[in-house]
Every structure is written in C-alpha cells, then in structure tokens.
Amino acid sequence: MVSEADGDYIAREGDAAMTDNADQIAEWNGPMGDRWAQMQADLDALTRPFGNAALAAAKVVSGEAVIDVGCGCGDTTFEIARAVGANGSVLGVDVSRPMLVSAEARRQREGVANLKFVEADASAAPLPSNLDLLFSRFGVMFFEDPFPAFKHMSKSLKPGGRLAFVCWRAARENPWATVPIGAARAAMGVPAPQMDPYAPSPFAFADETRTRRILEEAGFTDVTFTPFDHTVRLGANAADGAEGSIRFGPAGRFIREMGEGAIVQVLPAMTEALKPFENADGCAPPGATWIVTAKAG
C-alpha cells in the first residue's frame, strides 16, 4: 500500500478525479494498477520490443527534455533518462499511484537525478512547456476524449518538437488478446458484446484514419504510421499463457465479471486455444502495433 513517505516523493498535479477520465483513473489507480505494479517485470519483458521500436523512432538525443505519457512503472522513462543524459530531463506522467510508487522506488534505488514522476492526468494537468519530445509506450489510448487531450499535450512541445508513441492495431490483428478471451467466452457461453471501437481501451487508436485526425486537429504535422509486429510472450507454455492472460489481458476482466469461480471453467479451453502459439521460447501469439510519429506545428 501507499505510505505517507511515498506521497512525499511523487508530485501531484491537478485534480484528476474531476476530469472526464475519472473511470480510467479509478481503474488504473485501483486493483488493475496494483496488478500491473506486481507483474512489472513480466509486463516489461512483454512490451519492451514494442517500446524499443517506438524509442528508435523517437530518436532521443542527449540534452533533450521529454515527457513519457502514461509512464506506468517507468521502464521507458528510465531508458529515456539514460538517453538524454545529465543535461537532459524526463518527466513520467501517470494516473496510477501504485505504478508510480514502484517507478519512484526504482528511481531512488538507482539514484537517477534527471528524472521525475508526477501523478497527473496528462490530458488536463499543467505540463512543462518547450519540450523536445512527447513519448508513450501504450499509454495514450485511455483518454475519454483524445481530441482535446492531444491538443492539451501538444502545447507542451516547442515548435518542431516531436511526438512518438506505440499503440495496438485492431484487436483482430492481436490474437494474444483475442484468443484467450474468445475461448473464455465460448467456454462460458457468453457472446462478445458490441463495443465502441473508440472507447478508452488498448485498441482505441487502432484506426489509422481517426488517430491521424486526432493528431492533425491537435496541430501535429508530418504524421506517420509504421506497422510493427512482434510476438507477445504470454507465458512459458499454453497453460502458463492462459493464466498470464487472465492476470493482465482482456480475459481477466471478463473472468472477474463472471466471478472468480469461472477460472476453473475457462482455463482448459483457454489453454487449448493457446496451444497453436507454443514454440521453443514459450507461448507467444502475434502482436500488431502502430509506431506513430509526428511533429508539433
């Protein structure tokens, strides 16, 4: 749990609970944030290939000032801090207290001086200005209304400043997410509900046309979308992968909604469905993302 001492180290900005993102903030600040913080090492290993592709596109150089939006436990924030060096700085912004506590503990352990974490809703909180880069690894798809959110964040960049983030492409291109939950739903006899494809979710930025519009309406230019595909290692084998996908994937939410007893009912079906994705390295279905870059106008 968060202690008073933790609160001293992580700055807080704005009143996050008053924004339209209150539902997402509550999610990431509650049990989901706790789970992500607990599983940080596994999740970092799983998402690092995608984050590395985004970092390569971001072309961070020494001396730059950067914000890492939705930085979570800070894996990419530390990487950026290393790249900008002592003359640069990076601010990790997130709404999840449990994840920030973990990030700040690492910052202190490693004595990283050019890095700060702030607990804030990036779409509304005051942000530093004149930045070189806005970066994010899977942290920008959770705004209730991304149009004003990106307008707000774009103001923190200097003219010609850069945006670089990685987001998931469509769910149908991401069997790591759809196969386990599809098997779980089938095992429970529950059909998939109609979803608003643009509601805050990992897949909210899948539609290139709409995401481009969000960025261009925020004043960004030179917007590029580059597909980047990589396997998503869910576990050591199909059974382990099924359990992993319950801990952090969309299947977990479905099973929690069904009641914890549902796990026994769905695990065999999920394991069976993941068997085709077993290889010598573990259970690793394909993952499909966009690496998005743009310039501040």
Q: How far is the CB of 191 from ligand SAM (least distance, A)?
A: 26
Residue nearer to ligand SAM on the CB measure, 143 or 290: 143
Q: How far is the CB of 216 from ligand SAM (least distance, A)?
A: 21
Residue nearer to ligand SAM on the CB measure, 99 or 218: 99
How many CA atoms, within 13 angstroms, populate the side-chain half-sphere of residue 106? Answer: 21
d(Cα 163, Cα 54) in Å, to the nearest integer? 10
Residue nearer to ligand SAM on the CB measure, 200 or 237: 200
- Counting Cβ atoms within 10 Å, is residue 191 exposed (0-12), middle (13-18) or buried (19+)? exposed
d(Cα 57, Cα 70) in Å, to the nearest integer? 18
* Contact positions vs ligand SAM (CB under 6 A): 21, 24, 28, 43, 47, 51, 70-73, 75, 93-96, 99, 121-123, 137-139, 142-143
Residue nearer to ligand SAM on the CB measure, 19 or 271: 19
Q: How far is the CB of 101 from ligand SAM (least distance, A)?
A: 12
Q: How far is the CB of 7 from ligand SAM (least distance, A)?
A: 17
C-alpha dihedral over 105, 111, 113, 116, to 10 degrees? -10
Token pair belonging to 263: 């796990």
Q: How far is the CB of 230 from ligand SAM (least distance, A)?
A: 14
Residue nearer to ligand SAM on the CB measure, 141 or 266: 141
Residue nearer to ligand SAM on the CB measure, 75 or 104: 75
Q: How far is the CB of 74 from ligand SAM (least distance, A)?
A: 8
> Could you please report the per-residue DSSP string of 163-215?
EEEEEE--GGG-HHHHHHHHHHHHHHT-PPPP--TTSSSTTTT--HHHHHHHH
The single-letter code of the amino acid at 124 is A
Could you tell me the CA-to-CA distances from 272 to 183, 246, 268, 279 in Å, in that order?
A: 9, 15, 6, 14
Q: Coil, helix or strand for 281?
A: coil
Q: How far is the CB of 99 from ligand SAM (least distance, A)?
A: 5
How many CA atoms, within 13 angstroms, populate the side-chain half-sphere of residue 7? Answer: 4
Token pair belonging to 57: 């596109």
Residue nearer to ligand SAM on the CB measure, 80 or 283: 80
Residue nearer to ligand SAM on the CB measure, 121 or 132: 121
Q: How far is the CB of 268 from ligand SAM (least distance, A)?
A: 28
d(Cα 251, Cα 257) in Å, to the nearest integer? 10
Task: State the pairing for strand pair 220-231/286-296.
Answer: antiparallel
Q: Is the dihedral of CA 251, 253, 255, 258 positive or negative?
A: negative
